[in-house]
Amino acid sequence: MRFPLQTASLRQLVILSFLLAMIPVGVLMWQSHKALSGLSRFATSEAESAVISVRRAENMQNLVVDIERAVRQYAVVKTDALARVAQSHITNQQQSLSQLCNDLPALNDCLAQQADLRQLAAEFLQLNGTPLEQLLQQIRLRQQHISQQIWDLLEQRLVNQQQLVQDAQQRQAWQTVALVLLTLLLVLWASGRVAAPVKKLDKMIRAIGQQQQFPDGKLEGPRELSELGEQLRWLSSRLQQLEALRLILLRHASHELKTPLSSIREGCALLTEQLLGPLNPQQLEVVMLLNGSADRLSQLTEQLLDYNRLLQQAKPELSRQVPQQLLQACFADHTLSLQQRQQQIKLDCQLSSIYTDETLFRRILDNLINNAQAYGAESSPVWVKLYKNDDMLVLDVANNGTPIPTALREKLFEPFQRGSTPRFDAVQGSGLGLSIVADCARLLGGHADIVDVVYADVCIRVRLPMLEEK
C-alpha cells in the first residue's frame, strides 16, 4: 500500500483523499437513514397500536352501557328478544375483553372482569333487584378502571418512545462526532502527504537561494512533486558547477591581471620620472591618465581577489569580540580619508560584547564606512550605530547626501552594480562594496538592506543573529 501512495500523482492523491473523506460521510448518512427509518417504523407501530387500543376501550365502554340497558329492560319486560339482545352485548364484550387482555397482558382487572361477565351471562335471567344492580355497577366500575389503565399504559409507552428517541439522538450525535474526527484525521493525513514534500521543496529552494548544502535523500510524495524535487536537485548541481567555474575564472583572471598591471605601472612610473628621456606636457598628461587607469584597475583586481576569498569562505570563525575596540580599529584605517573630506564618525554603541566572525564583521564595516564617506556630503558626519533589536544584532551606517531611489535599493547589493549618484571622492567605484557587505551578512546568517531614517539621507542596515558562544 505504501509504494502506490508514494508514486501516485497529485491528482490521484487528491481524488483518493476526497474518496476517503467521503467514506465517513457516507457511513454517517447510512446510519442516520437506518436510525430514522427504525424510529419511524416504531413510531408508526406504536401510533397504530394506541389508536386501536383507544377505539377498543371506547367500544367496550359503550358495550357496557348497552349491556346495562338491555339487562335492565329484560328485568322489567321479560321477553326472549330482550334476552337475546342482552346476551349478544355480553358476548361481544367478552370477545373484545379477551382480545384486549391478549394484546395488553399488563391490565390487572382483565380476569376479574371476564369472571363478572361470565356470571352476568349465566345469571342475568334469574337476577333481579339489588344483586343485579350491584353486579352491573361492579362491571361498569371495573371497565372504567380498565380504560384508565389503558390510558396509563399509552402514556408510559409515549414516555418510553420519547426516551428511545433521545437515546437514538445521543447515539447519533456520538457517531457523528466520531465520524467527523475520522474525516478530520483522513484530511490531515492527505494534507500531510502533500504538505511534507512541499515543505521539503521549500527547504530545497531555500538551500539553492542561500547557497547552502542541498538536502540529501529523494523527495517522497506525489509523482509531480517528486519529479520537481529531482529537477531542483539537478538545478542545484548545475548551479554549483557554474559557481565553481565562476570562482575559478575569477581567481585566475585576477591573478593573471596582476602581472601585466605591475608592468604597466612600472612603465608609467619610468615615463613619469622621465628616466628614458624628457616628455612634453601632452605626453605627460597621457602618462598620468594611463597611471590613474592602472591604479583603478589594480584596485579592482584586489577587490576581485578579496571578493573571491569571501565567496570561498565556507564557515565563519566565531569568537567573542569587544565591539568598541573592533569599531575603533576599523575607524583608524579611515582616518586620513575622513580628514581629507572633513568628515567625522558619530558612534553609538549600546553593546559591551558580541559573538561574531571578526574578519567578516570588519569587511562589513570597512565597506559601509568607505561607501558612506565616498557618497556622503563633505563636512557631513557618518553615523555608526550598533545595538540589539528583537534578538538581532543591528549595525546602521548612515550619511547625508542624495537619497537612493526605492527601485534601486535591492540592485545595489548585486555585484558590479552602481547607483546613479556620483562619488564625492576621486576614486571610481567597482560596484563590489555593497555586494561584499551582503555576502558577509549572509555568511553570518543575516542580511543587509537600505532603510529610511530621520537623522540621515541614506542608511544601510545590517541585521545579524545574536549568536551565543557554545
The per-residue pLDDT for 332 is: 85
Q: Which of 136-140, 150-154, 258-262, 446-450 has the highest mean pLDDT?
A: 446-450
Closest CA to 43 of 230, 201, 129, 168: 168
Are 376 and 300 members of one domain? no
Mean pLDDT, the chain, integer: 77
The per-residue pLDDT for 387 is: 92
* Domain of residue 266, CATH code: 1.10.287
Q: What average pLDDT does the segment 288-296 reach?
A: 74
Q: For residue range 66-112, what is the model confidence (pLDDT) as tens digits?
A: 877 877 777 777 788 878 887 888 888 788 877 777 777 766 777 77
Are 90 and 109 members of one domain? yes
Euclidean distance between CA atoms 397 and 385, whole angstroms: 7
Scan for cell 598591471, then name that residue. Answer: 261
C-alpha cell at 382: 557618518
Are 227 and 151 members of one domain? no
Q: DSSP per residue over 11-48, as a string?
A: HHHHHHHHHHHHHHHHHHHHHHHHHHHHHHHHHHHHHH
Q: In angstroms, how far is the first alpha carbon of the chain from the final one? A: 46
- Could you tell me if 355 and 318 are in contact, meaning their C-beta atoms sit under 8 angstroms apart? yes
Q: For residue range 145-182, what is the model confidence (pLDDT) as tens digits?
A: 877 877 877 788 788 877 877 887 787 778 778 777 88
Are 13 and 145 members of one domain? yes
Residue 206 lies in a domain: no
* Domain of residue 326, CATH code: 3.30.565.10
Are 292 and 419 members of one domain? no
Q: Is the pLDDT of residue 329 over 60?
A: yes
Are 44 and 124 members of one domain? yes
Q: What average pLDDT does the segment 387-404 reach?
A: 89
Residue 284 lies in a domain: yes
Euclidean distance between CA atoms 311 and 195, whole angstroms: 34
Q: What average pLDDT does the segment 276-283 reach?
A: 76
Are 162 and 184 members of one domain? yes
Are 308 and 338 members of one domain? no
C-alpha cell at 171: 447515539
Euclidean distance between CA atoms 139 and 61, whole angstroms: 10
Domain boundary pick from 171, 190, 209: 190
Euclidean distance between CA atoms 287 and 446, whole angstroms: 45
What are the helix (H) ranges across 273-357? Answer: 281-312, 323-333, 335-340
Amino acid at residue number 448: A
Residue 95 lies in a domain: yes
Q: What percent of the chain has pLDDT over 90?
A: 4
Q: What average pLDDT does the segment 341-354 reach?
A: 87
Are 130 and 229 members of one domain? no
Closest CA to 146 of 46, 48, 45, 58: 58
Q: Is the pLDDT of residue 35 over 80?
A: no
The per-residue pLDDT for 426 is: 45
The per-residue pLDDT for 462 is: 93
Residue 440 lies in a domain: yes
Residue 213 lies in a domain: no
pLDDT grade for 394, boundaries at 50, 70 and 90: very high
Domain boundary pick from 190, 213, 238: 190
pLDDT grade for 287, boundaries at 50, 70 and 90: confident
- Could you tell me if 135 and 154 are in contact, meaning their C-beta atoms sit under 8 angstroms apart? no
Residues 6+ apart with CB under 8 A from 465: 391, 392, 393, 444, 445, 446
Are 326 and 408 members of one domain? yes
Q: Sort strands 382-389 and 345-349 into parallel, antiparallel or unpaired.
A: parallel
* Counted domains in the chain: 3
Q: Is the pLDDT of residue 3 over 50?
A: no
Residue 196 lies in a domain: no
Q: For residue 372, what are the β-bridge partners? A: none
Closest CA to 157 of 1, 47, 244, 239: 47
Higher pLDDT, 87 or 248: 87
pTM metric for this prediction = 0.47
Euclidean distance between CA atoms 436 and 362, whole angstroms: 11
Say how many C-beta atoms besides its own lie within 10 A of residue 294's C-beta: 20
C-alpha cell at 352: 559591551
The DSSP element (H or E) to which 235 belongs, if any, is: helix 223-272
Domain extent, residue 278, equals 222-312
pLDDT grade for 385, boundaries at 50, 70 and 90: very high
Residue 143 lies in a domain: yes
The per-residue pLDDT for 425 is: 47
Residues 6+ apart with CB under 8 A from 149: 106, 107, 108, 109
Q: For residue range 399-435, what is the model confidence (pLDDT) as tens digits?
A: 988 888 888 888 888 776 665 555 444 444 556 778 8
Domain boundary pick from 259, 286, 312: 312
Are 340 and 426 members of one domain? yes
The per-residue pLDDT for 397 is: 93
Residue 255 lies in a domain: yes
Higher pLDDT, 188 or 11: 188
Are 25 and 129 members of one domain? yes
The per-residue pLDDT for 371 is: 86
